Amino acid sequence: MKKENKTFQLVWGIALILMGFGVFYRLPQVWPDIEKIEIFSSILPFIRFCFYVMAIILIGGGSKKIYENLIKPDDFDSEE
């Protein structure tokens, strides 16, 4: 993998992790506003579950990108 692409992937992974933690941090602050919307009143537990799953997926995806581009050894660089 090229050095520029590897750096971009590393920065993208860090951004994904920060976005995931941002969802965890921001959701309790925004939740009272979401509860005020009458359309969502019957499915509030499902909406909360979806937001937290989204945060976990963002953190997991960012962690995977960082692992693949920083920690994992470059076994396939010799093919280029």
What is the per-residue pLDDT across 3-56, written as a single tens digit (0 to 9) for each?
778 889 999 999 999 999 999 999 999 999 988 988 988 899 999 999 999 999
| Residues 27, 50, 60, 58, Cα dihedral to 10° | -60
Position 79 in a domain:
no
The verdict on residue 64 lying in a domain is: yes
Could you tell me if residue 34 is inside a domain? yes
Length of the chain: 80
Q: Residue 44 sits in which domain range?
A: 3-73
23 located within any domain: yes
The total number of structural domains that make up the chain: 1
Residue 80 lies in a domain: no
Comparing 46 with 79, the larger pLDDT belongs to 46
